[in-house]
Amino acid sequence: MPPNRTQPQAAGLTAKGRATRLRLLEAAQEQLRVRGSVEIADVAAAADVSPSVIYRYFGNKFELIHAVVTDFYDEYDRSVFLAELQPDSPWLERETLRIEREIDFLYHHPLGPRVAAGLLHEPAATHVDAERQRKHAEMAARNIRRGQKSGELAATIDAELVGASIIGALRAVLAAALSHEKPPPPAKVLAPIAQLSKALLPPASDGK
């Protein structure tokens, strides 16, 4: 999947400039996919430009990698956390579907296995990853609070702690699965996380 073509940082560029910037992002993404790190000279060669051209679009290597990984997470959020998932279904069914989409995204996006397994070896990638994982935990907590407000989930659930627990557990299971030479089927990853979610998120009818 190519990086986002409509990033705010590309505003004001000519069509040729946007195309060059996109090639640089794609080249950097491919290096991250293959080896988890980036060399500016290799990005320039893959994009068919001189290394100095990169600094017209990105201040330094950190900014280039930051842009690539931010693109990845923006697409992640659109596909998983911001997607409208069967609004008329029970809360836990929607949560299971969200987890299923999350697993599918990380299995199939070019950077998904590297991100999930913690195999990006660049400070900029680590920075974005930590920031976005915190945001995912916050989104999970908001989602749980919505379930409590609608009367579907027990009011005694600590939304922040449980949200962070589920996000952390999913990433840990995915890291184990995607670090294998032949990862197990996504359904095998979904099963334990769905069971954990069910255990940590009792319905309001349980009287808890």
- Do residues 122 and 150 both lie within one domain? yes
Query: Given 47, 64, 81, which residue is the final one in a domain?
Result: 64
- The structure tokens listed for 117 are 């397994």
Q: What's the rounded mean pLDDT across residues 119-136?
A: 95
| 164 lies in some domain | yes
Q: Please check whether residues 117 and 160 belong to one and the same domain.
A: yes
Does a structural domain hold residue 2? Answer: no
Is there a domain that residue 97 lies in? yes
The answer to whether residue 121 sits within a structural domain is yes
Residue 1 lies in a domain: no
Domain that holds residue 125: 68-206
Whole-number pLDDT of residue 60: 95
Considering the domain architecture, whether residues 72 and 60 belong to the same structural domain is answered as no
**Domain co-membership, 57 together with 14:** yes
Identify the three-state secondary structure at position 203. strand
As for how many domains the chain has, the answer is 2
The residue that leads in pLDDT, 90 or 30, is 30
Whole-angstrom Cα distance, residue 136 to residue 129? 10
Residue 128 has a CB neighbour count (10 Å cut-off) of 22
| pLDDT score at 72 | 97
| Residue 128, domain CATH | 1.10.357.10
Q: What percent of the chain has pLDDT over 70?
A: 93
Least confident of 82-96, 119-133, 164-178, 189-203: 82-96
Give the closest residue to 143 by CA, choosing from 97, 105, 190: 97
Containing 6, the helix (H) or strand (E) segment is none
Q: Among all chains, which residue has been given the structure tokens 């590297």?
A: 114
Query: Which residue matches tokens 């790190």?
Result: 37
In this structure, is residue 183 part of a structural domain?
Answer: yes
Tell me what the mean pLDDT of segment 24-33 comes to.
97
Residue 208 reports pLDDT greater than 80: no
- pLDDT average, residue stretch 118-130: 94
Q: Specify whether 116 is located in the same domain as 175.
A: yes
Are 153 and 167 within one domain?
yes
Q: Is the pLDDT of residue 114 over 80?
A: yes
Helices (H), the chain: 15-35, 40-47, 51-57, 61-79, 91-108, 112-116, 123-149, 159-178, 186-200
Q: What share of the chain has pLDDT > 90, as a percent?
A: 79
- Cα 114 from Cα 120, distance rounded (Å): 6
Instruction: Please report, for the domain that includes residue 23, its CATH number.
Output: 1.10.10.60
Q: Give Cα separations from 16 to 44, 64, 77, 87, 157 (angstroms).
A: 16, 18, 29, 42, 52
Q: Is there a single domain that holds both residue 158 and residue 126?
A: yes
| DSSP three-state, residue 153 | strand
Distance CA 144, CA 98 (A): 13
Residue 25's nearest CA partner among 61, 74, 77 is: 61
Give yes or no for residue 5 having a pLDDT over 70. no
Residue 108 lies in a domain: yes
In this prediction, residue 9 carries a pLDDT of: 55
In whole angstroms, give the CA distance from residue 30 to residue 7.
19
Give the model confidence (pLDDT) of 62-112 as tens digits.
999 999 999 999 999 999 988 888 878 888 888 899 999 999 999 999 999
Q: Does residue 102 lie within any of the structural domains?
A: yes
**Do residues 87 and 33 both lie within one domain?**
no
For residues 60 and 138, membership in a common domain is answered with no
- Contact in structure between 116 and 106 (CB atoms under 8 Å): yes
* 122 and 200 inside one domain: yes
Considering the domain architecture, whether residues 75 and 57 belong to the same structural domain is answered as: no
Question: Confidence class of residue 1 from pLDDT cuts 50, 70 and 90?
Answer: very low
- 46 and 84 together in one domain: no
Q: Write out pLDDT tens, residues 141-181.
A: 999 999 999 999 999 999 999 999 999 999 999 999 988 88
